[in-house]
């Protein structure tokens, strides 16, 4: 699954870090704006939770489908094993039957030899009968007896010869019938076994194909589950970021209320308050950029290596400030850190939310080599928050700086060009 913008982005953000104007109407608008932002974030969290629940349901469905496929694969395994055993058994029987065929062929050869000899004998007898008048010869034999005793002997001899001829004919027919029966039986058995063996092999091939299809289906279901898992992790990350944003907005509301209380107390004392956070601070060190007057200051020192807008086939939602030296990164305005962590795309990055005259702004500082502030920290304009680097999906040492007029969103709809708003090199 391709990583969504949310994994490439590092965090959602919130508006706070208030700049106090001392005018109660403006402060009321700031609080109202922050509460509106808080409600919007809360609604987004509710929607995300619904999406997370749907993702969980989808994962459970995919797991159930996988279990069904695995059960079917188990059945196919048993079926394949069973047909393999049967194939082995039928193959053995085919071999045994082929041995019987070979044995029968030897027996058939003997029977055929006997039949051949009988055929010769019977042909000789038939020829003799034809030449000598058949049964008449037997009468001549009987009538040619010289005595009764001789007649009896001749009659017995004729009966023996006739009986022998009949036995020969019976045995001849029995041999023929036995030969035909054995041939028919063996051929039938062999044909049946060969057909059964062919059917089993075909079934085994079909089961193997089904098993491969189930393997592919299971792999596909696992891929889908992994994809949904990744999507759910992104949704959870968004939900966590929104939770941090909602908490930060609550903190911003409290800061606004405290500012109003201080302004009211000063008004009672008759003092005029014109707080401009950071205006009276100079550079923290020689290596950090000078802190500008007004609400914004330059986030680092270097040169503008890439601007805002179209860059190749994609949009560049910020500006890049490069420098050969690892320069300090400072907060561009007073605010609260929504999240400070390492992203696979933005590397070490920090998201800060600002509230300026009731307007929420979000700044993003990416690809840093070090981070000096953590999530939830309050920062002042010009305060060092990190060190320039080349972490994450970065080409060369630089600061990737984004400015959003409003909270950070997945589609970065509120991203604006910081040129002309935030002092840049």
Q: What DSSP assignment string belongs to 192-208?
A: HHHHHHHHHHHHHHHHH
What's the sign of the alpha-carbon dihedral 241, 242, 243, 246?
A: positive
User: So what's the pLDDT on residue 41?
Assistant: 75
Mean of the pLDDT values across residues 78-92? 83
Closest CA to 333 of 206, 414, 421: 421
CATH code: domain 25-274 is 1.10.287
User: So what's the pLDDT on residue 20?
Assistant: 33
Strand, helix or coil for residue 241: helix
pLDDT band at 219 (very low <50, low <70, confident <90, very high): confident
Question: What are the boundaries of each domain within the chain?
Answer: 25-274, 276-425
User: So what's the pLDDT on residue 323?
Assistant: 95
pLDDT band at 306 (very low <50, low <70, confident <90, very high): very high
pLDDT band at 137 (very low <50, low <70, confident <90, very high): low
Residue 84 has pLDDT above 60, yes or no: yes
Between 85 and 235, name the one with better pLDDT: 85
Q: CA-CA distance, 57 to 64, in Å (whole number)?
A: 11
Between 238 and 51, name the one with better pLDDT: 51
Q: CA-CA distance, 364 to 343, in Å (whole number)?
A: 12
Residue 270 has pLDDT above 80, yes or no: no
Averaged pLDDT of the chain:
77
The topology under which CATH files domain 276-425 is Glucose Permease (Domain IIA) (2.70.70)
Share of the chain above pLDDT 90, in %: 23
Q: Degrees (nearest 5) of the Cα angle 136, 142, 148?
A: 165
User: So what's the pLDDT on residue 96?
Assistant: 81
User: So what's the pLDDT on residue 299?
Assistant: 98
pLDDT band at 8 (very low <50, low <70, confident <90, very high): very low
User: So what's the pLDDT on residue 205?
Assistant: 86
Mean of the pLDDT values across residues 172-178? 76
pLDDT band at 117 (very low <50, low <70, confident <90, very high): confident
Residue 403 has pLDDT above 60, yes or no: yes
The answer to whether 385 and 299 are in contact (CB under 8 A) is: no
User: So what's the pLDDT on residue 255?
Assistant: 63
Give, in order, the Cα–Cα distances in Å from 382 to each of 43, 66, 191, 391, 402. Answer: 34, 56, 95, 23, 16
Mean of the pLDDT values across residues 337-354? 90
């Amino acid at each position: 699954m391709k990583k969504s913008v949310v994994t490439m982005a590092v965090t959602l953000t919130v508006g706070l870090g208030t700049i106090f104007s001392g005018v109660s109407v403006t402060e009321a608008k700031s609080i109202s704006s922050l509460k509106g932002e808080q409600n919007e974030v809360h609604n987004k969290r509710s929607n995300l939770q619904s999406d997370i629940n749907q993702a969980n349901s989808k994962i459970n469905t995919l797991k159930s489908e996988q279990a069904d496929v695995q059960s079917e694969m188990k059945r196919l395994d048993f079926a394949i094993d069973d047909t393999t055993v049967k194939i082995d058994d039928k193959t053995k029987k085919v071999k045994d039957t082929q041995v019987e065929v070979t044995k029968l062929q030897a027996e058939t050869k003997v029977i055929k030899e006997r039949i051949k000899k009988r055929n010769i004998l019977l042909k000789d007898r038939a020829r003799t009968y034809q030449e000598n008048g058949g049964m008449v010869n037997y009468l001549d034999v009987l009538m040619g007896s010289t005595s009764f005793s001789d007649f009896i002997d001749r009659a017995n001899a004729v009966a023996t010869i006739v009986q022998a001829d009949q036995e020969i004919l019976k045995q001849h027919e029995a041999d023929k019938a036995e030969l035909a029966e054995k041939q028919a039986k063996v051929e039938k058995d062999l044909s049946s076994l060969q057909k059964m063996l062919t059917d089993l092999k075909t079934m085994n091939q079909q089961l193997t194909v089904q098993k491969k299809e189930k393997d592919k289906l299971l792999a596909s279901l696992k891929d889908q589950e992994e994809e949904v898992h990744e999507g759910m992790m992104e949704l959870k990350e968004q939900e966590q970021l929104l939770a941090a944003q909602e908490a930060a907005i609550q903190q911003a509301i409290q800061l606004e209320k405290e500012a109003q209380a201080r302004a009211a107390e000063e008004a009672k004392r008759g003092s005029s308050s014109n707080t401009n956070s950071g205006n009276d601070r100079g550079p923290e060190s020689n290596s950090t950029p000078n802190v500008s007057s007004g609400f914004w200051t330059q986030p680092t020192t270097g040169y503008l290596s890439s601007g805002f807008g179209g860059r190749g086939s994609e949009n560049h939602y910020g500006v890049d400030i490069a420098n050969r030296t690892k320069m300090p990164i400072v907060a561009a305005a007073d605010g609260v850190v929504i999240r400070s962590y390492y992203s696979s795309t933005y590397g070490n990055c920090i998201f800060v939310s600002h509230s300026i005259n009731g307007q929420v702004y979000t700044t993003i500082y990416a690809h840093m080599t070090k981070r000096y502030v953590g999530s939830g920290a309050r920062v002042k304009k010009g305060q060092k928050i990190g060190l320039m680097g080349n972490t994450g999906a970065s080409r060369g040492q630089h600061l990737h700086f984004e400015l959003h007029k409003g909270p950070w969103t997945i589609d970065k709809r509120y991203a604006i060009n910081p040129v002309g708003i935030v002092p840049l090199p």
